[in-house]
Amino acid sequence: MDQVQPSQASSEIKNVLFIMCDQLRADHLSCYAPGGALKTPNLDRLAAMGVRFDRAYVNSAVCGPSRASYYTGRYPLSHRVTWNRVPHPIDELYLGDYLAQSGRDCHLLGKTHHVPDPAGANARRFQVQPEAAERFWQGGFTALERYDGHFEMGPDSEYRQYLQARGYDSERPWEDYVIGSQDDQGQFASGWYMRNASLPARVQAQDSETAYFTQRAMDFISAKGEEPWALHLSFIKPHWPYKAPAPYHDRFGADDACAPVRAEHERTEAHPVHAAYQQHEESLSFAQDEVWRTIKPVYMGLVQQIDEEVGRLLDMLEQQDRLKDTLIIFSSDHGDLLGDHWLGEKEYFFENAIRVPLIVVDPRAAANATRGQSSDAFVECVDVTPTILDALHLPAQEHRVEGRSLIPLLQGQSDWAREYTVASLDYAYREARQILGRGVDECRGLMLRDGDYKYIHWQGYRPQLFDLKQDPDELHDLGADPAHAAVCRRMKEGLLDWHDTLKGRASESWAAVENRTNAHERMMNILIGRW
């Protein structure tokens, strides 16, 4: 089935399936970049069922702050999770918290990067009530199985127990099998070393992370039957370690991969922050042709496996007649530079780091007119939570949530428009800070991208500016060019205008503010200034 037909569409949304990948570039889906060796027919199928957003951006190209923005609907400057493992302030609510207020759990399978703030709670002697304790520790979610995929699993891990029951006989099954390989001499080869990426993982494909969590999602949905559900299926891949099981490890070769987008002058004439990032170990590695030619085919294989597992999940939803009443959202927490601009990892503000795939399927008949279309509207990860709340007819939380519901776009309303998109970076935790000799509170970057330009404001340094019309590959930094000073001023003013929209007053609803405006006499019998 290619798409939900109008006759099959439901009048109401009953279920929510929010699928997130980790470190997935938009240009590795064939519906975004047709013509390459990598085909993603199942994700293309999903796009045919809904709307593909071609200009979807994360608000930080770092896992922790990006996911916090997805889950809160708020920008990093508001929710204050500026890096990985920064505790989530106790006064910030997640998507699961909003759904719980209406009597609905949001279940989790996979990664969140959420870190709670017990120190903040203890400092104020807050007691977490038993019924809310799990949501506090798990970022608003009801965890079916949380799995962040970067460390060896503890003994209580269900995935660890599954692997051991399947015969992977090790006290470290993740290190030894999931990211472990065997070289040509029969010796163990760790997936932590990128030179071993092309070797197949010792785990079978059906027991790998992606397949395991897909099956768990299918089991959960089947068990729910006709009962409404909300599920966040959060894949760890194609995030490093770049390790794929057979047959995905060698499905593509180096000739199938595109060479990194970069120019020599980006090294010789680099902005100071860009130059510092180029000195990171992952950047020095990806600067070598051998590295990207080894890693990119494996990355493509990991994406291929995700596509096939999503196809398996879609088939089950179709068989169980759940496509007709399920809102489906597919996205990623950020991209992967893979050697672009002489950089590894993500973090920076270049397009392949901050632009992500975003596909949204609204099964209701009201969305039939846009089904299978693409949209060039600027949308952001902060838009996901308000979209889900809107789809379920739950309160908009407009005094807190800074994103906007995408439902009007899905239903063909043409007046939905955002002039620009914004992202931020706090690189205090990275080696770049030490290279530059910056203090821990001197490492802020802010990006504003409109239809023509990308402007990057760096604390303590000159800005960067890219003319995206003339230079879509972002190879020529115009930030120091006097001829573009007026553009820089205009874009900086745009950042100030955006900052004015942030919602710092998040503890009272707009209705409460309206009710208390000039109400001192009416509400408290207080007279001010009366003669």
Domain ranges for the chain, please list them. Answer: 12-418, 419-500
What CATH code is assigned to 419-500?
Answer: 3.30.1120.10
pLDDT at 134 over 90: no
Collapsed DSSP state (helix, strand, coil) of residue 199: coil
**CATH class entry, domain 12-418:** alpha beta
Average pLDDT over residues 236-252: 98
The answer to whether 381 is a known catalytic residue is: no
Whole-prediction pTM value?
Answer: 0.95
The string of pLDDT tens digits covering residues 366-395 is 999 999 999 999 999 999 999 999 999 999
Average pLDDT over residues 269-286: 98
Per-residue model confidence (pLDDT) at position 128: 66
Both tokens of 16, joined, read 């929510």
**Dist CA 194 CA 283 (whole Å):** 13
Per-residue model confidence (pLDDT) at position 10: 60
**Dist CA 332 CA 512 (whole Å):** 36
Contact 71, 94 (CB under 8 A): yes
Which of 21, 31, 63, 443 is catalytic? The answer is: 63
pLDDT at 2 over 60: no
Beta bridge partners of 379: 56
Q: Could you give the C-alpha distances from 286 to 280, 293, 404, in angstroms and in order?
A: 10, 9, 37
- Other C-beta atoms closer than 10 Å to the C-beta of 15 total 21
Tokens 């900052």 correspond to what residue?
Answer: 499
Contact 257, 296 (CB under 8 A): yes
Both tokens of 437, joined, read 């000799």
Per-residue model confidence (pLDDT) at position 91: 87
Per-residue model confidence (pLDDT) at position 6: 38
For the purposes of burial, counting CB atoms within 10 Å of the CB of 527, is it exposed (0-12), middle (13-18) or buried (19 or more)? exposed
Average pLDDT over residues 121-130: 70
pLDDT at 145 over 90: yes
Per-residue model confidence (pLDDT) at position 1: 39
What does the angle CA 387 – CA 304 – CA 153 come to, to the nearest 5 degrees? 80
DSSP E strands in 333-372: the ranges are: 358-361
Contact 363, 13 (CB under 8 A): yes
Average pLDDT over residues 332-345: 98
CA-nearest of 121, 118, 178 to 148 is 178
Per-residue model confidence (pLDDT) at position 18: 98
Phi, psi of 20 (to 5 degrees): -125, 135
pLDDT at 185 over 80: yes
pLDDT at 205 over 90: yes
